[in-house]
């Protein structure tokens, strides 16, 4: 029996695409409507990888405000409507993503996305960026009953992509991605240009890269770690 195709599972925000400008602009639109001052992009970058609900909560916390769960759900739906209407004003793939995907595809790799972005905006963003067709599965925070860092979110993404967990690697940018991979028993490559509250090297991923041109060797190294 032939071995299954190897699968690379990517986080989205801060890993495949630089989306912070559009995410924070949406947050600030909500903040302004609610009478709170805007959050500077530099201050908000570490917040945006945790999902929109967490981003909203942290944004209002920065103004000394607590949002009730009920109000958070209302703001979350308002946030999604504004964000989806402006989803790729400034968002773009990181340099080297397309050439890296080409190289891995030529070598027989398949791809999936496991993100804490809701599935609908994740799909829309990937469509806007012109890469959705390259991925066998694009799974968000609400795709399954679990979300990262629960290992089951990653495991279910791999299953939906038709992959095998013993031939998969996670690529992410944050503590959440590294914890998810560890919880699932997968090797993990971290990018150091994404959205994290601490330097990603301090979180002990298997390999750290600073550009997608380095991903080929990083994946080879990560696979050796777990071989």
For every residue of 66-109, DSSP letters joined together read ---HHHHHHHHHHHHHHHHHTTTSS-EEPTTHHHHHHHHHHTT-
Task: List CB contacts of 216: < 8 A, sequence separation 6 or more.
Answer: 100, 103, 104
Is residue 11 part of the annotated active site? The answer reads yes
Task: List CB contacts of 224: < 8 A, sequence separation 6 or more.
Answer: none
Task: List CB contacts of 82: < 8 A, sequence separation 6 or more.
Answer: 26, 29, 30
Radius of gyration for the chain, computed over Cα atoms and rounded to the nearest angstrom:
17
- Strand ranges for the chain from DSSP E: 7-10, 17-18, 92-93, 110-114, 137-139, 168-172, 188-191, 207-209
* Closest C-alpha to 195, from 9, 61, 15: 15
Find the catalytic residue in 11, 13, 18, 177: 11
What are the angstrom distances between the C-alpha of 107 and each of 32, 34, 101, 112, 137? 48, 51, 10, 16, 19
Q: Are 82 and 6 in contact (CB under 8 A)?
A: no
Q: Indicate which residues carry an active-site annotation.
A: 11
């Amino acid at each position: 029996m032939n071995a299954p195709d190897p699968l690379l599972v990517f986080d989205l925000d801060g890993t495949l695409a630089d989306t912070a400008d559009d995410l924070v602009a949406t947050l600030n639109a909500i903040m302004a409507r609610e009478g709170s001052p805007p959050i500077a992009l530099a201050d908000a970058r570490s917040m945006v990888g945790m999902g929109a609900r967490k981003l909203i909560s942290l944004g209002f916390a920065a103004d000394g405000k607590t949002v009730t769960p009920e109000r958070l759900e209302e703001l979350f739906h308002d946030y999604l409507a504004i964000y989806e209407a402006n989803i790729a004003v400034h968002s773009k793939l990181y340099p080297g993503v397309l050439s890296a995907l080409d190289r891995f595809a030529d070598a027989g790799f398949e791809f999936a996305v496991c993100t804490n972005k809701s599935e609908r905006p994740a799909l829309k963003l990937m469509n806007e960026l012109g890469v959705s067709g390259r991925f066998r599965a694009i799974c968000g925070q609400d795709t399954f009953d679990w979300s990262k860092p629960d290992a089951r979110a990653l495991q279910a993404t791999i299953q939906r992509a038709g992959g095998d967990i013993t031939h998969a690697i996670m690529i992410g940018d944050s503590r959440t991605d590294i914890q998810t991979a560890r919880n699932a028993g997968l090797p993990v490559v971290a990018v150091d240009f994404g959205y994290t509250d601490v330097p990603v090297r301090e979180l002990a991923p298997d390999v750290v890269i600073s550009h997608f041109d380095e991903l080929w060797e990083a994946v080879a190294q990560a696979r050796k770690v777990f071989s």
